[in-house]
Amino acid sequence: MGSPREDAGAAPPARVLVECWSCKAVIEPSDRYCRHCGTGQGADVGWYYTPWGITVLTLLLLGPFALPFALKSPKLTPTGRRAAVVLIAAYTGYLAWGCWRLFHQLQLGGSAGAADLMLLLGRP
């Protein structure tokens, strides 16, 4: 171990700083919230940035408007973000197709029988 004389000339240990995932400001690793933008860090990230939160927002509330939450989520890996975008886009396409089918069924007078429904589904 070093004597006080040897330690006096040594540089102090460098402080480790991290970057806020939202605003990219430099913060202390022990900070639970960013001092600049107030966004939660680590375990204190909002529920809507978690995978389950994004799923709930997509299925029940926002549909395609949940994409920004999936893209900005610090809880998802880059592969997870890509998968979330593909799944949200597929779900949005399915909803659009269902709305289109419903619109055409209502155009038929709302009384689509089995034959009309089969034609609507594209089956002869």
Residue 122 lies in a domain: yes
Q: Give pLDDT tens digits for 30-64.
A: 888 888 888 888 777 888 889 999 999 999 988 88
Distance CA 29, CA 16 (A): 7
Residue 2 lies in a domain: no
Tell me the residue range of the domain where 25 lies.
Answer: 11-44
Question: 0.85 cut: is pTM over it?
Answer: no
pLDDT averaged over every residue in the chain: 81
Residues 31 and 71 in one domain: no
Residues 15 and 65 in one domain: no
Query: Does 71 have pLDDT greater than 80?
Result: yes
Q: Is 27 helix (H, G, I), strand (E, B) or coil?
A: strand
Distance CA 21, CA 35 (A): 12
For residue 80, name the pLDDT band (cuts at 50, 70, 90).
very high
Residues 26 and 40 in one domain: yes
Residues 66 and 116 in one domain: yes
Residues 32 and 77 in one domain: no
How many domains does the structure of the chain reveal? 2
Residue 3 lies in a domain: no
Distance CA 119, CA 2 (A): 87
pLDDT value at residue 89: 95
Query: Does 116 have pLDDT greater than 70?
Result: no
